[in-house]
Amino acid sequence: MTDNSHKIIDFRVRLPEALRPDIDVPKENSLQYDAVLGTSDKFGASQTTEALLAQMEAAGIDHAVVHAEYEVGDPADALNQAVADLVNEYPARLSGIGTISMKDFSIKNALRQVTECAERGMIGLSIQPAFFGMTINDKLLYPIYAKAIEHNLLVALHTGVNYTMNKPMAGENPMLIDEVCCHFPDLTVVASHAGWPWIAEMVAVARKHPQVYMEFGGLSPKYVGAPGSGWEVMHRFMNSVLSQQILFGTDWPVMDHARVISEWKDLGLKPHVEQALLGGNAKRLIKKTSLNK
């Protein structure tokens, strides 16, 4: 990624659907996601690399971080290879975050995948524990966290609500990140989706652990500033003491780039906070996790 202090960086986009292995998604996984977020109209073969780059260009997005989303037992190795190939094709526009196999979880296999992600130049791992009956602080994940530190990889953890009908969301309460960071103070954590509805807890964890970042992909920023939305504590603290720990994200194609940027700009954040959110913090984090790669 070339140097530019005013870059806009989307810290969370999905691997274009056209590049993902074709698998059957159980109805209980997709039904409520579609009802809440309209995913059936947004996902599909039309979501190509060209579509992503065109939307980024139109919205003034300089760089994006592509996540290998492992949600229903997808072939993680194939996802990681697809992300690596995409980033290698567009290194100035894209960085990559890989994943590990969570279905039929094997520590040995997951550790191999962590090492391979580092060897492929990824900046981190994306893990969604609750989708597989695990918790953020599950001790089975501790070797993964340790290996991530060894390879200078951040770990992006799904936090807050999930709309999978048969998977409880309690395992992704951001309070559980506190225990993980107490045991792994050198681990850089990105709390994907910023932990709603546990916003006070998310703010407390980030205030305690400066290596915890909050990424806002997949949500409409207008609600962050809306009274009664549950985001009020976040809105106050992100505009002050947590300004260096916030990351702009869309979860493309879930959210449109231009819409999300417009809504953030309408929130009236302090100018330096808005700049940190939209790219400054992400630039620093990408540089940190790209060292020695």
Written as six digits, the tokens of 24 are 């059957």
- Find, among 170, 101, 186, 162, the residue nearest to 136 by Cα: 170
**Domain of residue 215, CATH code:** 3.20.20.140
pTM to 2 decimal places: 0.92
H or E element, residue 115: helix 107-119
Q: Locate tokens 């652990």: which residue?
A: 209
Inside any domain, residue 97: yes
- Find, among 100, 79, 190, 177, the residue nearest to 137 by Cα: 177
Inside any domain, residue 1: no
- Which residues does 245 contact at the CB level (< 8 Å), separation at least 6? 206, 210, 212, 213, 214, 281
What is the span of the domain harbouring residue 51? 9-290
Inside any domain, residue 175: yes
Inside any domain, residue 4: no
Inside any domain, residue 223: yes
pLDDT in tens, the chain (293 residues): 545 457 999 999 999 977 766 666 666 666 665 666 656 665 666 689 999 999 999 999 999 999 998 767 678 999 999 999 999 999 999 999 999 999 889 999 999 999 999 999 999 999 999 888 899 999 999 999 999 999 999 999 999 977 676 788 899 999 999 999 999 999 999 999 999 999 999 999 999 999 999 999 999 999 999 999 999 999 999 999 999 999 999 999 989 999 999 999 999 999 999 999 999 999 999 999 876 55
Burial class from Cβ neighbours inside 10 Å (0-12, 13-18, 19+) for residue 200 reads: middle
Inside any domain, residue 282: yes
Inside any domain, residue 218: yes
Inside any domain, residue 2: no
What is the total count of domains within the chain?
1
